[in-house]
Amino acid sequence: MVRVYWSLSNIMKAKEHTREVRDKAVEKFKAALSYTKISQDLNISRSTVQSIIRKWKEYSTSANIPRHRRPPKLPDRTRRALVRNATKCPKITLEELRCIATELGESVHGTTISRTLHKSGLHGRVARRKPLLKGGHKKSCLKFARSHMEDTATMWKKVLWSDETKNKLFGPNAKRYVWHKPNTAHRPECTIPSVKYGGGSIMLWGCFSSAGTGKIVRIIGKMDGAKYWDILEENLLESVRELRLGRRFTFQQDNDPKHKAKSTMEWFKNKHINELEWPSQSPDLNPIENLWKDLKTVLTELELFCKEEWAKMSVSRCANLVVIPQKICCCYCRKRGFHKVLSHAV
């Protein structure tokens, strides 16, 4: 259902008053009558009287001034209504805005509406996906920020950051376009709340510090506490040695239940590993997210490269490969079902 944030009765297309009416308004203004009195005498709105007088003061005439260019397709009131709807509901679509314009008596193309919004500083952008934050999440994030505001750069250099990420090698994630002005991309109404549901083409665990990247591991199958413990056992301390963090390093991980398993916490205790207390639902605080973004950009470029190379495959190569199944069938018949694998290099 399309919501209109402006009364339809107030956005009806206004008729232009005659020159005689405009001249009478000017004469009464010269006679020191108020805008309200002039409005009552001529039976026109007070805002119309103000517009007539403002135009007379600026151009010394009540006549229509020749336009220097084509008048806008949308009246000012309709334009303001569209901008108001896009501002209050950034996820509104061009089609919904076009329906609103139609209800207001203006039949325009979506391109016209888009151009109108651009002039008001609103541009269609892909909505950012941000974690769904509740009251408790916000309080814990604020507590974390206040407790670490005075930490030195040396302390942060001793932190080993870690996280998992899902990478889709082929095919982008679903996108949703929103209307927003510059520097407003992270406002709640311009973002899509996200929660962790897993899945994806490939799952990775990685770590890094200010000294560089540590180990990165592909997660095969479903991730659980035991598999996470194996990853830490094989990669965490080795990454610490390679990055030369020393014994007094701090390990960062989020509050995923798999990370807080009893076996994992006992392992930290036995290895004397200091864990950084971390607020829930706060990936923005973890700088490794920027490295994941860089990695996904490279994978996107790899996808484009694969598609380009795939399109370059010759017709003759494809025709030669189609012969292989027939040769394999002949082999099966000669060997009575037993078959030595043929080389697929044709």
- In 3D, which of 180, 201, 162 has the Cα closest to residue 291? 162
Q: What is the pTM of this model?
A: 0.53
Each residue's pLDDT tens digit, 165-205: 987 655 544 456 677 788 777 777 777 665 454 434 688 99
Each residue's pLDDT tens digit, 126-162: 777 766 667 777 888 888 888 888 889 899 999 999 9
With b for 16 or more beta-carbon neighbours within 10 A and e for fewer, the 267-289 pattern comes to: eeeeeebeeeebbebbeeebebe
> How far is residue 53's CA from residue 116's CA, in Å, rounded to a whole number?
28
- In 3D, which of 188, 200, 191, 195 has the Cα closest to residue 256? 195
Average pLDDT over the chain, rounded to an integer: 82
DSSP state at residue 313: -
Bigger pLDDT: 334 or 96?
96
User: Can you give the pLDDT at residue 167?
Assistant: 77
> How far is residue 72's CA from residue 91's CA, in Å, rounded to a whole number?
25
Edge-first strand listing for the sheet containing 274-275: 212-219, 202-209, 159-167, 250-251, 274-275
Each residue's pLDDT tens digit, 193-239: 654 544 346 889 999 999 999 999 999 888 899 999 999 999 999 99
Helix (H) or strand (E) holding 48: helix 46-59
